[in-house]
Amino acid sequence: MQTDEERADDFAEMQDDLRGGECARIDSPASGPDRVSFCGRFLGIIDADRYDTAQRGGGAAGFVPAPEGIFRSTRHALCAVASAAKAAGYWPNVYHVNERGNVTRLHPTTGRELAAWV
């Protein structure tokens, strides 16, 4: 269990990451698909239906690369984030921000929740 001081440090780090844009983000708007970005650069959207339609149209297996990225799931989007991180040589924190502004830090490969701020 985290101490209050550790939690405050994590909260400050999260605020700095989101303000500075030096993070990977999955934003869930009130309507429409989730948007995925890496350090302020748009990578694509999470939309299983569009992904499946694109794949039936003759696309290659895996995710469609940016800027036309369409990802089947959060895990699929995290693969694109990992690819962008490897290319950049920089592995930032990954955050999910919902339509109400609640923030969750995610594990960069599994998508498992590591910390949350409401």
Residue range 10-60, pLDDT digits in tens? 899 999 999 999 999 999 999 999 999 999 999 999 998 877 776 666 555
Which residues contact residue 96 at a Cβ distance below 8 angstroms, ignoring those fewer than 6 apart? Answer: 25, 26, 27, 28, 74, 103, 104, 106
Could you tell me the residue range of the domain that residue 64 belongs to?
A: 4-117
Q: pTM of the full predicted structure?
A: 0.83
| Assigned token pair, 101 | 């502004």
pLDDT of 66 reads: 41
Give which of 19, 3, 23 is closest to 105, Cα–Cα: 23
Q: How many domains does the chain have?
A: 1
| pLDDT-wise least confident of 2-6, 71-75, 76-80, 86-90 | 2-6
